[in-house]
Structure 1
Amino acid sequence: MFKAKIFVNYKPSVLDPKAQVIQNTLTRLGDDNVSHVLVGKYFELTLSAASQAEAEQQVARICDEMLANVNTETFKFTVEELAVAE
């Protein structure tokens, strides 16, 4: 069993209105030392696979086909093997 932790964010060239609103609000509240806000999506998947490489390929495909809009978003992920309880 493997656990994938996936982060999806807008590409740097895409305007993120939620992040801009948060940054503007922080500035109004006096937190003007915050220079960048990134808003994104986070997913965790638990999956069975024969190997780490196979799990990583499956997660990359899932991200590319479903979890991220590859035209406007990027994704990164980690896959770790889960300890088997005895």
Structure 2
Amino acid sequence: MLFELISGKRNSHQSEDRSFAFFPSLAANVLMVGGDILSLLDTRLNREATVEEVTKVFKVAYWCIQHEEDSRPSMSEVERILDGYWM
């Protein structure tokens, strides 16, 4: 859900040529190469966020989609992180 809030789009999208785009993978590529992370924001946000804020939300979002359920944070942990009380 956090990825969709950031991008304003569904996490996966099938293009006209029937290939799939998966937003979490796209975002990971941008993060790893040091690309323009703010370009991933929903255009309605007018880039009104800092790189640090968006990076924090992405890190939490990736933590939430860990394969092993026990490795994922609780919703209260997510809330504390996003409110700035942790991390």
Per the TM superposition, whether the score is higher than 0.5 is no
The structure with the largest alpha-carbon Rg is: 1
Q: Say which structure is richer in strand.
A: 1
Q: Say which structure is richer in helix.
A: 2
Q: Which band: TM-score by shorter chain?
A: under 0.3
* Structure with more relative contact order (C-alpha pairs < 8 Å, separation 6 or more): 1
- TM-score where L is the length of structure 2: 0.24
